[in-house]
């Protein structure tokens, strides 16, 4: 089994993070905040924090990818 190079790995990671971010964005946090706490399927604050962390991770991956392109 071969090991992917950094560019392939970063591209795959970017795709995975973007997909997870799409899911997080579609969770409709504003709707959850309007329902009684006893009916929450997730904590809207935690979900928002998760989305912010995903955006940070995506930004980091993109920055590293850009750096990789600049080194070529």
pLDDT at 2 (0 to 100): 47
- 20 HSE (CA, 13 A, CB side): 17
pTM of the model as a whole: 0.78
Q: Can you give 27-71 as a three-state secondary structure string?
A: CCHHHHHCCCHHHCCCCHHHHHHHHHHHHHHHHHHHHHHHHHHHC
42 Cβ neighbours under 8 A, 6+ residues apart:
27, 32
Which has more pLDDT, 8 or 33?
Answer: 8
- pLDDT band at 55, cuts 50/70/90? very high
Band (pLDDT 50/70/90 cuts) for residue 42 is confident
Which has the higher per-residue pLDDT, 11 or 37?
11
């Amino acid at each position: 089994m071969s090991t992917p190079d950094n560019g392939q790995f970063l591209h795959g990671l970017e795709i995975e993070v973007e997909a997870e971010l799409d899911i997080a964005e579609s969770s409709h946090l504003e709707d959850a905040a309007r329902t009684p706490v006893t009916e929450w399927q997730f904590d809207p604050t935690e979900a928002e924090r998760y989305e912010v962390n995903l955006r940070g991770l995506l930004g980091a991956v993109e920055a590293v990818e850009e750096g990789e392109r600049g080194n070529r």
